[in-house]
A and B are shown apart, each in its own frame.
Chain A
């Protein structure tokens, strides 16, 4: 059974850097084809895809946020870390991580999400 769980600060100040961790079980990020994605959802709004990292360290980013995002993995800890710089109140959202396989493409399953509020 695959599970994922996001963790990180609930409150960050404008201009600060956000660091979120996705801790997962039931799969390995050293297995060919496996990936983890990040998706966010502002309150009351739609889902927005942010980033992906694959087993081979290949990374993909949303073009509109690419300059602010970094995603890394720690295979030994079964963790993926998302870093977003220069946080702004518009970045207030629930942040999700999700499992993805290169040969299948869809996100399944998802973590429960973690709410991040950007406010001074």
Chain B
């Protein structure tokens, strides 16, 4: 069973700054990795699939990279609406765990 970890737990940044979030799988998932954004009181929204492909309507300030066990979500310049919790999830093999999440909050 694959275990997902994320770091840091909380990232405190200012609007306009660059955010770098990490996700690690306990074994290789190739590029079968998705990132989701969740704002308070809302359902998660797909941001990135295939480790690096942006979902429909996602701004290009969001980018994903990595393969195998180590992945990164980068937000090039934080906009006010980007302060949220971000989860990674592997879909290489069932079960399909999510990571514990990284909260990006305002410094």
Contact = CB atoms under 8 A, between A and B. Distances in A.
Interface of A: 37, 39, 46-49, 52, 60-63, 96, 104-113
Contacts, number: 58
Interface stretch (B18-26, B66-74, B75-83, B91-99): B91-99
B46 A108 contact: yes
A110 B100 contact: no
Contacts of B87: 46-47
A39 B101 CA distance: 15
B44 interface: yes
Given A37-B96, A47-B36, A108-B55, 9 more contacts: A46-B87, A46-B98, A47-B98, A49-B98, A63-B1, A63-B95, A96-B43, A105-B34, A106-B34
B63 interface: no
A37 B46 CA distance: 14
A48 B98 CA distance: 6
B45 interface: yes
Given A46-B87, A47-B87, A109 B46 contact: yes
A47 B43 CA distance: 10
B89 interface: yes
B49 A49 contact: no
Contacts of B55: 108
A65 B66 CA distance: 31
Interface of B: 1, 32, 34, 36, 38, 43-46, 49, 55, 87, 89, 91-92, 94-101
A49 B95 contact: yes
A104 B95 CA distance: 15
Q: Most chain-A Cβ atoms within 10 A of its Cβ — which of B1, B43, B95?
A: B43
A107 B95 contact: no
A110 B43 contact: yes
B48 to A, nearest CB: 9
Contacts of B95: 49, 60-63
A46 B99 contact: yes
A109 B87 CA distance: 15
Given A47-B44, A47-B87, A104-B49, A60 B99 contact: no
